[in-house]
A and B are shown apart, each in its own frame.
Chain A
Amino acid sequence: MDIRRSSTIPRWVIVVAVVGAVFVLFPLVAMTTRVDWPNFLVLITSPSSVAALLLSLRTSLAATAACVVLGVPLALMLARTEFRGQRLVRALVLLPLVLPPVIGGIALLAAFGRRGLLGQTFDFFGVTIAFSTTAVVIAQTFVALPFLVLSLESSLRLAGTRYEAVAATLGARPTTVLRRITLPLIFPALLSGAVLSFARALGEFGATLTFAGSLQGVTRTLPLEIYLQRETDPDAAVALSLVLVLVAVLVVGLTLRTSTVPSLVRRGTS
């Protein structure tokens, strides 16, 4: 970074900015000092830890897939159509972003729980959702979906409809336009939105605990495992936390890399 180029910014802003950066980084650095390094590998490879990590990865991937399947049509509808109450729909879809996750969990119980509105319907078909791995995926999808929709909708608006109009006049049916023009054009945003959703799903705690409970190997994801271990084995909790931090850093890194893809497409070198 070139400091001279930012000379129009008052010096005190930079001072506050440094304080802000330290505020975020310091706790993470502090955590690494608490890691029991000699036993690190043993701690993170205990059966319960491995089970939690694998469950987290599995459910988060499933939730990400669900977010893509549901989120792409939602974003398209919000960005490409006009209907009454559209602003309301957008606000409601984005609600999980600002809602305390515990409340999301309670709402999910009311809808899909054994005594929930749809729970009995599912029971009739022999499916019990609450306190199952499916419930974990549902909880994660619920909180992660807005990230994907938000990212896609703004990218769709930015891309505009002109390429789509040209494609239509060339004889392409709406589904062809979607498949061959719209989706490739917003692919970078789809990718970064999916990565963000994955990260959000991976860190999900409140809604999962409320709606899915904490059964080892079934619903106890890594964040739940860390919270439990904190009571009995703080060293394991810190070690697992570090694992989650590393995964998060990896995810953020991926997002930053994919966010450079659009400019590559425009230059035609990708």
Chain B
Amino acid sequence: MSLAIQARVAERGFDVSLEVAEGETLAILGPNGAGKSTLLDIVAGLLRPDAGRGEWAGTPLFDIGGRHSLWLPPHRRGISLLAQEPLLFPHLSALDNVAFGPRSAGHSKDAARATARTWLAEVEAADLESSRPGTLSGGQAQRVAVARALAASPKLLLLDEPLSALDVTVASTLRRMLRRVLATRTAIVVTHEVLDALTFADRVVVMNGGAIIEQGPTREVLERPRHPFTAELAGLNLLTGTGSAAGLVTSGGLTIVGESVGAGVKAAAAVRPSAIAVHAVPPDADNVVRVTVSDLEPRGDSIRVRTESSAAGGSLHADVSPGRAAALDLAPGAELYFAFAASEVSIYPR
């Protein structure tokens, strides 16, 4: 492992231990206040944890709470941070912003500018080199900021929701660009966008309340979530319980029919909302769950029906067409039946 961090910040209830391999891109998913930015600040050296150790390829970054306290300041870590806002230095041109890292590393003005031009070209912003940050659009500024972070030739790149301040079309262009530059680099990307994790990351870590609640290869975590929050992010329904011969039995006593993972094993079942059919009377299906509508939410060309089910032991949601919603006379409080085939359920040990 190349980066190994273990840190605690009592005030924020933060306690995390994390490793990132060289060349790997790690995505950190989690709701606001989960401690994602705190983690990045600690790695970058902008926030000092109460206790913990951090090292890069065997070289210590910090060691606090031990016998010999050690703290490497941010400028000696070789770790660049790209934030949600570009934070381009307002008094420098785009070119000099990008040249700032090489200049700080001791290169001559001309050499630094030559490096900066290469990186501006890399992010397709060569034509912006003499622009002042105040005249750039959000997408242009963020591209220059990416070039600036890369020009400092960091061994580790930290990205804190780099696309969330941009509008959708600009974000998708930049997402493609980031995918290209991150492919060969060691990076940590904080995001609350599943698409970002799928695009950039080899591995995801899901955080909540200052702790890591699950982690693993991106696809595995998103297809087989173990935690309701992860399921919510991945857009899946999650039912938890114990494995049985038929499939899985929830804590509410409901049997979910699907492939068996062995009786008595702690297990979870995931179902896509679009695989669920909604009925007013119990239909004939492998799995039928009685639910109470709690909320209706328009989602493009469909309506998301959010429900509570005591038998399933939590909330379930399904997507229906507006016509179907009208036919069912959907309203909060209505009783419905969710039906789905055994083949649509993914059951796995938890």
Contact = CB atoms under 8 A, between A and B. Distances in A.
B132 interface: yes
B149 interface: yes
A91 interface: no
Counting contact residues on chain A (CB < 8 A from B), the size range is 20 to 34
B134 A268 contact: yes
Contact of A265 (B44, B75, B91, B101): B91
Given A170-B80, A173-B75, A266-B134, A184 B101 contact: no
Contacts of A185: 89-91
A170 B101 contact: yes
Contact of A266 (B78, B83, B90): B90
Given A185-B91, A268-B133, A168 B149 contact: no
B133 A170 contact: no
B89 A181 contact: yes
B90 A171 contact: no
Contacts of B149: 170
Interface in B67-89: 73-75, 77-81, 83, 87, 89
A174 B81 contact: no
A176 B101 CA distance: 11
Contacts of B90: 185, 265-266, 268
Interface in A5-30: none
Contacts of B45: 168-169
Given A171-B104, A266-B134, A162 B87 contact: yes
Contacts of B135: 267-268
A234 B171 CA distance: 74
B75 A172 contact: yes
Contacts of A180: 100, 103
A33 interface: no
Contacts of B91: 184-185, 187, 265
Interface of B: 44-46, 73-75, 77-81, 83, 87, 89-91, 100-101, 103-105, 131-135, 148-149, 152, 158
10 contacts: A166-B81, A166-B83, A167-B89, A169-B75, A170-B101, A170-B104, A185-B91, A267-B134, A268-B90, A269-B134
Given A167-B100, A170-B149, A265-B134, 16 more contacts: A163-B89, A169-B45, A169-B79, A169-B158, A171-B78, A171-B104, A172-B104, A173-B75, A173-B104, A174-B75, A176-B104, A181-B89, A184-B91, A265-B90, A265-B91, A266-B134
